[in-house]
Amino acid sequence: MQFRDLKKQYEVLKNDIDKAMIDVAASSAYIMGKPVKELEAELAEYVGVKHCISCGNGTDALTIALKVLGVGAGDVVFVPDFTFFASAEVVSLEGARPVFVDVEEDTFNISIADLEAKVKEVIAQGQYTPKAVIAVDLFGLPANYKELRTVAEQYGLKIIEDGAQGFGGAFEGKRACGFGDISTTSFFPAKPLGCYGDGGAIFTDSDEYAALADSFRVHGKGSFKYDNVRIGVNSRLDTLQAAILKVKFKAFHEYELDAVNKAAEMYTEKLSGKVETPVVPEGYYSSWAQYTIKLKDRATRDALQAALKEAGIPSMVYYPTPMHKQTAHIPYGPYAEDLCPVAASLCERVLSLPIHPYISEDDVDMVCSTVLKFAL
Ligand SMILES: *Cc1c(COP(=O)(O)O)cnc(C)c1O
């Protein structure tokens, strides 16, 4: 059994993907070829924003978003303590200070109450300017943008939506990657919409932000490539990846999202009441980057993971370490032992089970019976 079966997906889409790749090879337009612009237009329309600017990967997308907002030395950016390293790494890379915020136990997403507390602390200390918040749509579920927007407005924070895992999710009919002042995603192969290498994109309704992002991704270009008006990066989405993504995006919105939601429902039906299953609050739709259960403590989680492995079932711990305990972030401390107690507890108790649009009912059954045998 595969944790995320990309080979199966390729087999289903093979004819179209092979043709798309060969067409790019024959076109020789390997950088910024036609499929790049076409993909950007399709994704912007799907998300429901004016602009999509593709780039080299999801980390670069966040870096470019911070550059667009002018985040740098002396600024604080609030980041959830329970996320992939890149969400916080980019803040330090830009010379700003990440301040870690606890998450909600049920949704795994940023806690609005703790965000407000942490903003007040930074203001009270008076050393840094609270500039932005990077909200992560963890495991496919959009963060609580309604309340986040209220707090952000109150304190003058810009919202960056890190939708690397969230593409395809929604809240009250509005799609993920459309909630931030500027939003980002990743096309890393294992993400909900993945390509065959690295890729990423930035989304925004702002013409000004879009123009800046387009400049930053090509060496801070001005009116043309050899007119450089700001220090930027080299971060473009390959034409080859865009062509592959166009094929995969069609499958993604036509049936894969439905299929992965059915798989999640099957899991929840079989497991709820026995272990803590993931919560999708009223009005939300998840793209199920991960299906993550919670066990009562680390010993139970680790023993279940071992039992699954014994049965030939892959599982993953996303994430074993809270951001503020990552070695690289320690210089930005010191951090209180109980800085983010929920995030710290989740790191000990979470376990992500195999899920993807092509998982069979038999495979879900097998995972569940192994979990249940263990849990009983
Ligand atoms: C994967 C991921 C990223 C980084 O994306 P890459 O394309 O791998 O650079 C950023 N944030 C989150 C939450 C992610 O899961």
- State which of 247, 271, 286 marks the end of a domain: 247
Question: Which residue owns the Cα nearest ligand 1 atom 1?
Answer: 164
Has residue 234 been placed in a domain?
yes
pLDDT at residue number 331: 85
Angle between helices 6-27 and 34-47 (to 10 degrees): 130
Per-residue buried b or exposed e for 2-39, using 16+ beta carbons within 10 Å of the residue's own CB: ebbbeeebeeebeebbeebbeebeeeeeeeebebbeeb
Domain that holds residue 205: 6-247
Q: Do 138 and 265 lie in a common domain? A: no
Q: Do 150 and 222 lie in a common domain? A: yes
Query: Structure pTM?
Result: 0.98
Using most ligand atoms within 8 A of CB, pick from 93, 191, 235, 326 the residue to mutate for ligand 1: 191
How far is CA 248 from its chain centroid? 18
Q: How far is the CA of 190 from the centre of ligand 1 (A)?
A: 10
CB 133 within 8 A of CB 80: no
Q: Do 51 and 158 lie in a common domain? A: yes
Q: How far is the CA of 59 from the centre of ligand 1 (A)?
A: 6
In the chain, the number of structural domains is 2
Closest CA to 138 of 174, 165, 106, 169: 165
Query: How far apart are alpha carbons 142 and 136 in whole angstroms?
Result: 7
Using most ligand atoms within 8 A of CB, pick from 54, 55, 59 the residue to mutate for ligand 1: 59
Has residue 17 been placed in a domain?
yes
Has residue 210 been placed in a domain?
yes
Residue type, 161: E
Task: Report whether residue 65 contacts ligand 1, using a CB cutoff of 6 Å.
Answer: no
Q: Do 203 and 275 lie in a common domain? A: no
Low-confidence ranges of the chain (pLDDT < 70): 375-376
Could you tell me whether strands 170-171 and 174-175 are parallel, antiparallel, or unpaired per DSSP bridges? antiparallel
Using most ligand atoms within 8 A of CB, pick from 66, 162, 167, 292 the residue to mutate for ligand 1: 162
Query: How far apart are alpha carbons 63 and 61 in whole angstroms?
Result: 5
Task: Report whether residue 83 contacts ligand 1, using a CB cutoff of 6 Å.
Answer: yes
Could you tell me whether strands 182-186 and 158-162 are parallel, antiparallel, or unpaired per DSSP bridges? parallel
Using most ligand atoms within 8 A of CB, pick from 87, 233, 292 the residue to mutate for ligand 1: 87
Question: Which residue owns the Cα nearest ligand 1 atom 14?
Answer: 164
Q: Do 241 and 264 lie in a common domain? A: no
Q: Do 24 and 163 lie in a common domain? A: yes
pLDDT at residue number 333: 81
pLDDT at residue number 376: 57
Q: How far is the CA of 163 from the centre of ligand 1 (A)?
A: 8
Atom of ligand 1 nearest to the CA of 62: 10
Task: Report whether residue 136 contacts ligand 1, using a CB cutoff of 6 Å.
Answer: yes
SS3 for the chain is: CCCCCHHHHHHHHHHHHHHHHHHHHHHCCCECCHHHHHHHHHHHHHHCCCEEEEECCHHHHHHHHHHHCCCCCCEEEEEECCCCCHHHHHHHHCCCEEEEECECCCCCCECHHHHHHHHHHHHHHCCCEEEEEEEECHHHCCCCHHHHHHHHHHHCCEEEEECCCCCCCEECCEECCCCCCEEEEECCCCCCCCCCCCCEEEEECCHHHHHHHHHHCECCECCCCCCECCCCCECCCEHHHHHHHHHHHHHHHHHHHHHHHHHHHHHHHHHECCEECCCCCCCEECCCCCEEEECCCHHHHHHHHHHHHHCCCCCECCCCCCHHHCHHHHHHCCCCCCCCHHHHHHHHHEEEECCCCCCCHHHHHHHHHHHHHHHC
Q: How far is the CA of 165 from the centre of ligand 1 (A)?
A: 7
Task: Report whether residue 261 contacts ligand 1, using a CB cutoff of 6 Å.
Answer: no
Q: How far is CA 335 from CA 45, 98, 345, in A?
A: 42, 12, 16
Has residue 122 been placed in a domain?
yes
Q: Do 85 and 196 lie in a common domain? A: yes
Q: Do 230 and 259 lie in a common domain? A: no
Has residue 1 been placed in a domain?
no
- CA–CA–CA angle 111, 153, 120 (5° rounding): 55
CATH number at residue 304: 3.90.1150.10
Has residue 134 been placed in a domain?
yes
Residue type, 357: P
CATH number at residue 219: 3.40.640.10
Q: How far is the CA of 25 from the centre of ligand 1 (A)?
A: 28
CB 322 within 8 A of CB 84: no
What tokens were used for 165? Answer: 């895992």
Q: Do 235 and 149 lie in a common domain? A: yes
Q: Do 353 and 212 lie in a common domain? A: no
- State which of 247, 279, 304 marks the end of a domain: 247
Q: How far is the CA of 243 from the centre of ligand 1 (A)?
A: 21
Q: Do 45 and 13 lie in a common domain? A: yes
Q: Do 272 and 236 lie in a common domain? A: no
Atom of ligand 1 nearest to the CA of 191: 1
Question: Which residue owns the Cα nearest ligand 1 atom 7?
Answer: 58
Has residue 371 been placed in a domain?
yes
Task: Report whether residue 80 contacts ligand 1, using a CB cutoff of 6 Å.
Answer: no
- State which of 229, 247, 265 marks the end of a domain: 247
